[in-house]
Amino acid sequence: MTSDDLFSMQPLPVSEDSIVDSRLEELRRKIAHHDRLYYDQAKPEITDREYDALYRELVDLERANPGLITPESPSQRVGGRPQGAFAQVQHLVPMQSLDNTYSAEEIADFVERLQRLLPGEEIPMTIEPKVDGVAIALLYENGLLVRAATRGDGTSGDEVTRNIRTIEVIPAKLHGKIVPKVLEVRGEVYLPKETFARINAERDELGLPTFANPRNAAAGTLKQLDPNVVAERKLSAVFYGFGAIEPAAGDALPESMEKFFGRLKGWGLPVNPRHWTARDAGEVMDAIRELGETRRGFAFETDGAVIKADLISQHARLGSTSKAPRWAIAYKYEPEQAKTRLLNITVQVGRSGVLTPVAELEPVFVAGSTVARATLHNEEEIARKDLRIGDRVMVEKAGDVIPAVVGVLTAERDGSERPFRMPTHCPVCAAPVSRTDGEVAVRCANPSCSAQVRRRMEYFASRSAMDIAGLGEAVVSQLVDAKLLHDVADLYTLSADQLLPIERMGSKSVENLLAAIASSKEQPLWRLLASLGIPHVGLTAARTLASSFGTVDRLATASVGELCSVEEIGEIMATAIHDWFRDPGVITLLGKLRDAGVNFGERDAKGSAPAADGPLKGTTWVLTGTLSIPREEAAEIIRSRAGKVSGSVSAKTTYLLAGEDAGSKIDKAQKLGVKILNEEAFRNLIDRGE
C-alpha cells in the first residue's frame, strides 16, 4: 500500500449503536464519579441540577435502547456504596430515592400519571419540605430503638446506631401506650443552619476543608467513628415515612400520610414543621409556592418539596420502578443565585496563622440580604473553580447562610481578568508563609503577626473561653495597634495609664475592663485550656483534660500514652497536645500567665482548693431539659463537688438530671437503669452532701 493509497482511504463508517454505546459508557462513568464524591466523600463538584441533567440523559438513552441497559448502570440502583468503616445492615424494605422535577408542567404530568394509573379514583396529596440532609432508617421493635442505618445502596447501608443515639430529638423509646411491634421509620438527619455556619467558620480558621453545605456536614458527621464528635455537632432529624411496619395487636395502619405524620409526632419522633394537602396540580403548585416563600425560616436547609399520594392504600397499587416510587416525586427549587463581579481577592490571617482568600464582590442582593464578601477557603478551591479577579460570577448562600461563589461566567470574559496567586509573604506582617505537605492551608510563620494576635485575643476573651466582658473586636484591634498586646499574657499587665489614651476609652470603661481582666484570672482550668488554642482542643476536650489532670503542670508533663488513656482522647489529639506543650513559645507564654496569677488549676473559680474529694466523687451526670438555673451553672455545682458531667447517657452514667421538656435522654436512661432526678431531688441530694 502506497502513501497515496493511505490518503485516498475513507474513514470507516461509525454505527449509530456504537455512538450511543460510547455515550452511555461516558455518562455512567461520570455519574459513578459524582456518586462517589456525593455519597462517599460528601464533596460534590457539581450542582444537583447538573447531576440530574446527566442522569436524565442516561435514562432517556437507555429507555430508547433497552438492549444496552446493564445491571451496573446508575439507573438500576439507588445511591452510593455502603462504607467499609461501619457494619453493613440490610433494610427490611429497600430505601428508594425520589425522581426529581423542576417545573409546573412536570408536576401536572405527575398528577396526570397518578390519575391514569388509578382511573376514576380521587387521589389526595400531601406536600412537605424536602429536607436536604442524610437519609436514615431507624428500626424500633416494641417501641425500643434497636438499629439505625444510612440509605447506602438502597438495599443495605452503614449501621450508625451509636451516632444516632447522640441526637437528642431521637427517642430511644417511642412515646405512648400503643406502639408498633416493628417500625422501620424513614427520615433525614440534618445539621441546623446556624450550627453549620459556626462549624465552617471554625474549620476555615484552622485551615481545614470546609463543608459545601449542611447536607455534606451532616454526612461527614455521621461517618465519624467517635460518637463524642457527633454529639458535639448537635445534629437533628425529621421523619416522614416508613419501610416495614407491623402495628401493635388491636391497632391498624394509619389510612393516610396525613394521619401517619400525627402518629409519628405522638410517638415522640420529630416531623416537618409544616405540610400541605392538595387535590389537583394547581393546588400542589400553590403549596410549592407558599413553601418557597417560607422555607428560609426552617432550622434545616430545604431544596424543594416532596409531593406524595396521601392514601397509603394507593401506594402499593401505584407501585414503583427499580429506583423510585411512582406515588411520590420531589420538586426542586431553582437555587437562588445572583450575578455579580469579583472585584478583588484579599487575604485574611486567622489566629492559627492560616491565610484565607476572600472574594470582594460588587454588592448584590441574594436570599434576603446584600452580599459583598464571600470566603474562597483556599488556593486549591480558587484553581478548581478557575476564578479570576474581574470575573463575572454567580453567588448563592450555602445553607441559606454563608455567601459562596458557585460559578464563573467564562463566556463573559474580555481578557482583562487576572489570575490569583497566594502571597509568598504574610499580607499583614510580611513574614514568609509556608505549607505543610498534605495540607491545603498556607500559614504565616510569625506567631507575633498582629493579625494572629488580634484573632487570638478575640478568641481568648470570648464568652466560651475566658469570658472577659468589654474586650471585643474593636477594643482588641485598638490595643494591638497601640502595641500594648503581643500575646494573651500581656492582657494582665495593662494599666489605666496605658488604656485611658485609647480612643473611646473613658475612665469608667477602663475601670470595668481592668476588673473583668482581673476576674478572669479566677476562671476554672477548663476555660483556660479552651482559650489557649491547643490543637484539637475545644470546649468538651478542655473539660475532659481539666477533669483528668487537674492542673496545667500535670497536663503539660503528661506523656502521649497518659493522654491516650483518657476517655475521648485519641492518639492524634494526644500527640498534638503533647507537642504543643513542648513548643518554646508556648512554654514562655505559660510562664507569663503563671506569673500574672492566672489559675492553672491549683484553685477553683472562687480561689479555693478544688473539691477533688467532694461528695459527688465517682459519679457521672448528664443534664437534659429546662432547669430553673442555667445548665452550665448546674454543671458547675456538680463539678465543684467532684462529680463529672457528660454530654450523653451511657452505661457509665450515674444520674440523669431532668428538667422540663426533657428529651430522649430520659428514654435511654430508663433503658439502662440510670437513676433520674428532677431538680427538687437534685437540690436535696446536694444539700445532704454539703
- Contact yes or no for 204/238 (Cβ under 8 A): no
Is 393 exposed, middle or buried, given 0-12, 13-18 or 19+ CB atoms closer than 10 A? buried
**Sheet strands side by side (includes 620-624):** 644-646, 620-624, 655-658, 675-677
- Residue 424's CB is within 10 A of a number of other CB atoms, namely 9
Which ranges in 65-119 belong to alpha helices (H)? Answer: 104-117
- Contact yes or no for 35/58 (Cβ under 8 A): no
CA distance 460 to 589: 13
SS3 label, residue 357 = strand
- Contact yes or no for 111/281 (Cβ under 8 A): yes
Phi (first) and psi of residue 108, to 5 degrees? -60, -40
CA 233 to chain centre: 7
Give me 33's grid cell. Answer: 464519579
Please, which residues bridge with residue 90 across strands? 156
**What one-character-per-residue DSSP string does 268-310 give?**
T----S--EEESSHHHHHHHHHHHHHHGGGSSS-EEEEEEEES
Residue 281 one-letter amino acid? A
Residue 470 one-letter amino acid? G
CA 60 to chain centre: 36
Helix (H) or strand (E) holding 246: strand 236-246
Helix (H) or strand (E) holding 645: strand 644-646
Residues annotated as catalytic are 130
Phi (first) and psi of residue 473, to 5 degrees? -60, -45
Which ranges in 522-630 belong to alpha helices (H)? Answer: 525-531, 539-549, 552-556, 560-564, 571-580, 584-595
